[in-house]
Amino acid sequence: MRALIDVPLMLLVTYTMGFFMYGFYRQFMARIQNRRGPPIWQNLYDNLKFFSKSETLSHGPMFFLGPMIMMAGAVTTVLFIPMLKDTAWLQGFSASGNLILVMFLMVVGPLGNALAVGASGNPFGVMGVTRGLTRLMGLEVPFFLGLALIMVQYETVSISAIMAAQPTLAEWTLVTNPLIFLVVLLPFIASLNASPFDVVGAPVEVYSGPRVEFGGRLLGILMTQNMMLSMAKYVLVVALFMGGASNLLELFVKVFVLFMLTASISAVFPRLRTEQAVDFFWRIPLGLGVVAVILTLWI
Amino acid sequence: MRLFLRVLSLMVVVTPAVTWFAWDGALVWPLFGGATLSFDVTPLASFFLLLLAMGAPLAALPMLRKEEPDWQLALFALLVLGMQGLLLAQDLVGFFIGWEIMTWSSWLLIVRSPRTDAGTAASYILFNLSAAFLLLAGLLGVYSLTGSFAIQALVDLTLAQGLVLVLLFGAAFLIKIGTLPLHLWIPRSYDQAPEPVTVVLSALVSKMGVYGLLLMLILFPEMPGRWFGDWLNGPLSGYGLAWIGVITSIVATFKAIAQDDMKRLLAYSSIGQLGYVTTAIGVGGALGISGALYHALVHTLVSLLLFISFAGIIAQTGQRRFNDLGELIYRMPISFFGVLIGIIALAGMPPLPGFASKFLIFVALIEAQWILLFAAVILSSAAAFLYCYKLIYAPFLGQANSPEARVAREAPWPYLIPQIILMGMLVGLGMFPGMGTALADPVLAALGLAPLDGPSLGTLATPYGGYDGVTLMLVFGIAFALVTALFYMLRGQLRRAGSRQDLSFAGEVPTPDQPLHYGAGMGRELRRIPLIGWILARSSSGFFSGLAERVERLAEHSSRLYPSQPWRWVQSFVVVFAVLLTWGLVRGGGL
């Protein structure tokens, strides 16, 4: 019964946080670049605008179903991540899942996108998908290495149990094992498709990415699921490193702090090409990860 | 006559299923002089017999088509008998006989294909015969130590004896699995074998190597823990094997991405997937072994599904390169779903069972605290997404790139029926991931490990946590249905694109004769990444040709010892023999 309230609430929370954070991001970037920037509600406006477009171009049934798979993947991911600790609310179906499952669920969405853009027959879209999959190959290695260290540290794969094991600031993974956070931080930014690892859908230099053929309401779906999935990833990292949250306000503050950190990094560094990004991940974060393994397990 | 042969072969093909259901009690077959062959179904054999029982009839269906030659099904029946004998054997002699029947019948299947060239036939039989001879050496070694050929725990071995035996048996089975650098025969033979035969080679024959590796745990029970102690939380003796497996899967995955032929890509992917199994066996423990068994099960189903789907595509279009296909999705919809389910399971995405088996392997690595291995497995698993996408994109999506692809029709029923059954099995296993561990639990008990014992078939439970397949499948299914229904109602005006060239194409409108398919180019740019470029620039055939060159040079040197006339060789041979004989008699031992 609780699921009936939990499910819409969790989706609403991620959606709200999503458009708020990304609206703020645009303001933040504008101020850094000495511009005035759009209002903080701009992402919500954009999203609603897409959903009220009268005409949408489709390239056949698979093209239509791809965004649906993406949305279903994002919804499932959100519902398998517990948002709060010490409460029975906003847990979704997280008791039936675990950290590794959530990480793999995040790839279901890109599969839907890849199928749809492949079905459209646009070679540029498929090039974008290949870039995305290549980047995924680069970022997942250090990302999972960090997560594995967390799982070894807490001897569980359950996100709730990892959250529960960090009741106070002194027990946050960020404090007890800051090296893991450094290992995970940059791959995490890349998994959000944020600068400097945003070559996949790079808006200016590269003509087009995986989104090339989408327009109208289908693009609205893509934007919605992207905001929700990104927020799910923030909630996950907050749960793993910053002790989770006991109430929505705490969750919001923690996500905001983390968001500011990633946004600052994104604002400063120039974009990397795909192969540079992969090579970077396999040198710096993975190298740090190996150091972390040696320090925490071997010694 | 033809009909009789077919019915007889089909009856043989379903015997594994009959054996699996109806076997009770051991069978002892007396040979000459007190020697016996004994057969029985052990828990470990029962698991692999189940794979054979499921796979053999499904793989036989495409062979029943009129276009396929008669000898194929008959030889396949022989192959099934050989594998069955190997699994049921309770002594190493029976095991070896089954292994030889398997080797020769599969070689005949390959060598009679019109596409097979001499090099492929030679490499297949050379590698498999070396495996057989290593096996023979191993079993003679066992006999000389224990005086019996029975498959039983060998205790009280010295470390040197144990190591020699383990290396002999291990090398034999690793050749069959196709571990680097012993994989050389796999891509070319899988590629050139007739399509229905490749299905069998990848799905069933390769699993016999896995069976052999697991059999070594029964033969050498002291190997995992006691020989070298532990490294972190896992056995040090398995650490090397685990790295061999994971390096195999990484290299094979990158090689797979670089292929432009469908069957070659699948062959490399098969090598890579079995690399995970090797890794899992290396980790050992309840989680590792059950992950290995689970992955063997999933790989059997997936490779049956994918190889049969692609056999259908090749039969319908005559094209086997990614570049020459495209846009088959609406012409071959059932095959499309077959491949889609296949790649989702192959890539290990939830909710299909490929995730369940990988999850067990991941948790086993975490339990052993072998985190660097974990990261390496993730590398190959994430890189596999690329070739999985290539498998679905290049034939089915994009733009049709050859006349055959433009007019292709759905594959005939002998290809579709097994695909539909396998899709059902994969989805069912994804929904009830506990079924796989329930099948593996008796094997764990037989190996003296604690069974995983999930609370229900819907749950995959490990000491570190698990997941609920039913909930996962339902949540995803309901979310997908709701989102699709809701959006379909609110879709507004959905306009279908005017033509296949109606694309966002850098401000231009492409013409129909412009090549718009991205099939073969996919993954080519990966070479720019230093590590991948380094891997792809190398090949183990260089290692083997170097080896061959050394051997030739050695032979050249040793041939100088012989005079040039052939009769003198015989003479010197007789002299050497006489000297040895005399020496033996002088030592007083006789020969």
Instruction: Look at residue B267 in the predicted model and tell me its pLDDT.
Output: 95
Instruction: Look at residue B495 in the predicted model and tell me its pLDDT.
Output: 87
Cα gap B297→B180, rounded to integer Å: 22
Please name which of A50, A20, A12, A3 lies closest in space to residue A255, comparing C-alpha atoms.
A20
Cα gap A256→A262, rounded to integer Å: 10
Q: Record the tokens describing residue B528, joined without a space.
A: 């720019």
The residue of A100, A102, A184 whose CB has the most chain B CBs within 10 angstroms, and thus the best one to mutate to test that interface, is A100
Q: Among all chains, which residue has been given the structure tokens 């033969």?
A: B219
Helix (H) or strand (E) holding B504: none
Instruction: Look at residue B563 in the predicted model and tell me its pLDDT.
Output: 59
Cα gap B366→B198, rounded to integer Å: 35
- Residues in contact with A173: Cβ distance below 8 Å, sequence separation at least 6, in sequence order: A150, A153, A162, A166, A180, A181, A240, A241, A242
The residue of B254, B367, B385 whose CB has the most chain A CBs within 10 angstroms, and thus the best one to mutate to test that interface, is B385
Please name which of B402, B517, B307 lies closest in space to residue A119, comparing C-alpha atoms.
B517
Q: At what angle do helices B206-219 and B285-317 cross, to 10 degrees?
A: 170
Tell me the DSSP string of A31-70. HHTT-----TTHHHHHHHHHHT-SEEEE-SHHHHHHHHHH
- Cβ atoms of B219 and B154 closer than 8 Å: yes
Please name which of B140, B369, B428, B146 lies closest in space to residue B242, comparing C-alpha atoms.
B369
- Contact between chains at A93 and B327 (C-beta distance less than 8 A): no
pLDDT in tens, B353-396: 999 999 999 999 999 999 999 999 999 999 999 999 999 999 99
How much is the CA Rg of chain A, to the nearest whole Å?
A: 19
Please name which of B285, B217, B280 lies closest in space to residue B42, comparing C-alpha atoms.
B217
Nearest chain B Cα to A3, which residue?
Answer: B475
φ and ψ of B528, to 5 deg: -70, -20
Instruction: Look at residue B33 in the predicted model and tell me its pLDDT.
Output: 67
Report the 10 Å Cβ neighbour count for A172: 18
> Averaged over B257-279, what is the pLDDT?
93
Please name which of A5, A84, A77 lies closest in space to residue A250, comparing C-alpha atoms.
A84
Contacts of A101 in chain B (CB under 8 A): 350, 355, 359, 467, 472
User: Above 70 in pLDDT, residue B453?
Assistant: yes
> Averaged over B405-423, what is the pLDDT?
93
Q: Among all chains, which residue has been given the structure tokens 């090797």?
A: B278
Distance from CA of A271 to the nearest CA of B (A): 17
Report which DSSP code applies to B89. Answer: B
> Averaged over B335-340, what is the pLDDT?
95
Instruction: Give mean pLDDT in consecutive 10-residue pieces for chain A, a chain of 299 residues.
Output: 88 93 92 92 92 89 93 95 90 91 91 91 88 92 94 92 92 92 94 88 69 88 93 95 92 95 92 91 94 88
- Contact between chains at A122 and B503 (C-beta distance less than 8 A): yes
Tell me the CA distances in angstroms from A239 to A15, A146, A249, A289, A293, one per residue in order.
18, 14, 14, 20, 22
Which amino acid is present at B226? R
Among A56, A69, A144, beta carbon nearest to B495: A56
User: Above 90 in pLDDT, residue B585?
Assistant: no
Q: Among all chains, which residue has been given the structure tokens 């680069």?
A: A138
- Cβ atoms of A254 and A238 closer than 8 Å: yes
Tell me the DSSP string of B236-251. HHHHHHHHHHHHHHHH
Report the 10 Å Cβ neighbour count for B488: 11
Distance from CA of A118 to the nearest CA of B (A): 5
Which amino acid is present at B463? P
- Contact between chains at B490 and A217 (C-beta distance less than 8 A): yes
3-state secondary structure of B508: strand
Contacts of B529 in chain A (CB under 8 A): 134, 138, 275, 278-279
- Contact between chains at B493 and A55 (C-beta distance less than 8 A): yes
Cis peptide before A285 (omega within 30 of 0): no
Tell me the DSSP string of A58-124. E-SHHHHHHHHHHHHHHHHHHHTS---SSSSTT-TTGGG--HHHHHHHTTHHHHHHHHHHHHHT-HH
3-state secondary structure of B149: coil
Tell me the CA distances in angstroms from B15 to A143, A157, B79, B102, one per residue in order.
48, 42, 12, 16
Complex ipTM more than 0.90, yes or no: yes
Please name which of A231, A275, A299, A263 lies closest in space to residue A18, comparing C-alpha atoms.
A231
Among B369, B381, B393, beta carbon nearest to A152: B369
Nearest chain A Cα to B494, which residue?
Answer: A56
User: Above 60 in pLDDT, residue B590?
Assistant: no
Rounded to whole angstroms, the maximal C-alpha distance in chain B is 102
Contacts of B347 in chain A (CB under 8 A): 107
Among B371, B379, B484, beta carbon nearest to A68: B484
- Contact between chains at B383 and A137 (C-beta distance less than 8 A): yes
Residues in chain B: 591
pLDDT in tens, B509-518: 888 888 888 8
Distance from CA of B297 to the nearest CA of A (A): 20
Cα gap A241→A258, rounded to integer Å: 10
3-state secondary structure of B328: coil
Of chain B, the percentage scoring pLDDT greater than 70 comes to: 97
Distance from CA of A27 to the nearest CA of B (A): 30
Which amino acid is present at A5? I
Distance from CA of B371 to the nearest CA of A (A): 7
> Averaged over B311-327, what is the pLDDT?
91
Contacts of B350 in chain A (CB under 8 A): 101, 104-105, 108
b/e sequence B521-541, b meaning 16+ C-beta within 10 Å: bbbebbbebeebeebbeeeee
Among B366, B389, B505, beta carbon nearest to A152: B366
Tell me the CA distances in angstroms from B384 to A214, B451, B455, one per residue in order.
26, 30, 32
Nearest chain A Cα to B489, which residue?
Answer: A217
pLDDT in tens, B18-39: 999 888 877 888 877 667 888 8
> Averaged over B462-487, what is the pLDDT?
93
Distance from CA of B496 to the nearest CA of A (A): 5
Cα gap B358→B27, rounded to integer Å: 37
pLDDT in tens, A196-222: 898 887 666 556 788 888 888 999 999
Work out whether the CA dihedral B127, B133, B137, B142 comes out positive or negative.
positive
Cα gap B463→B366, rounded to integer Å: 11
Distance from CA of A54 to the nearest CA of B (A): 6
Q: How many CA atoms lie within 13 A of B582 on its CB side?
A: 6
Cα gap B394→B516, rounded to integer Å: 11
User: Above 80 in pLDDT, residue B521?
Assistant: no
Q: Of the ranges B205-219, B271-285, B458-472, B493-507, which one carries the lowest mean pLDDT score?
A: B493-507
Cα gap B36→B184, rounded to integer Å: 37
- Contact between chains at B349 and A216 (C-beta distance less than 8 A): no
Report the 10 Å Cβ neighbour count for B463: 13
Contacts of A217 in chain B (CB under 8 A): 487, 490-492
Tell me the DSSP string of B461-494. --TT--EEHHHHHHHHHHHHHHHHHHHHHT--EE
What are the percentages of helix, strand and coil residues in chain A, rounded to 5?
A: 75, 0, 25
Q: Record the tokens describing residue A151, joined without a space.
A: 């799982």
Q: Record the tokens describing residue B428, joined without a space.
A: 């069912």
Contacts of B405 in chain A (CB under 8 A): none
Distance from CA of B454 to the nearest CA of A (A): 13
3-state secondary structure of B558: helix
Distance from CA of B361 to the nearest CA of A (A): 11
- Contact between chains at A141 and B375 (C-beta distance less than 8 A): yes
Inter-chain Cβ pairs, chain A and chain B, closer than 8 A = 219
Domain that holds residue A264: 2-298
Contacts of B502 in chain A (CB under 8 A): 57
Report which DSSP code applies to B91. Answer: B
Contacts of A118 in chain B (CB under 8 A): 389, 392-393, 396-398
Report the 10 Å Cβ neighbour count for B428: 13
pLDDT in tens, B46-96: 999 999 999 999 999 999 988 888 889 999 999 999 999 999 999 899 999
- Residues in contact with B104: Cβ distance below 8 Å, sequence separation at least 6, in sequence order: none
Of chain B, the percentage scoring pLDDT greater than 90 comes to: 56
Nearest chain A Cα to B476, which residue?
Answer: A76
* Mean of per-residue pLDDT scores for chain B: 89
- Contact between chains at A145 and B378 (C-beta distance less than 8 A): yes
Instruction: Look at residue B455 in the predicted model and tell me its pLDDT.
Output: 85
Report which DSSP code applies to B53. Answer: H
Cα gap B107→B116, rounded to integer Å: 11
Q: How confident is the model at residue B591 (pLDDT cuts 50, 70, 90)?
A: very low
| Residue A188 backbone class (left: φ over 0; alpha: ψ -120 to 50; beta: rest) | alpha
* Number of domains into which chain A is organized: 1
Please name which of B150, B159, B329, B144 lies closest in space to residue B227, comparing C-alpha atoms.
B159
b/e sequence B203-232, b meaning 16+ C-beta within 10 Å: bbbbbbbbbbbbbbbbbbbebbbebeeebe
Cα gap B452→B440, rounded to integer Å: 9
**CA angle, A264 as apex, A263 and A268 as ends, to 5°?**
115
Q: Record the tokens describing residue B468, joined without a space.
A: 């609920």
- Contact between chains at A124 and B504 (C-beta distance less than 8 A): yes
- Contact between chains at A133 and B385 (C-beta distance less than 8 A): yes
How much is the CA Rg of chain B, to the nearest whole Å?
A: 26
Cα gap B157→B165, rounded to integer Å: 10
3-state secondary structure of B183: coil
- Cβ atoms of B287 and B374 closer than 8 Å: no
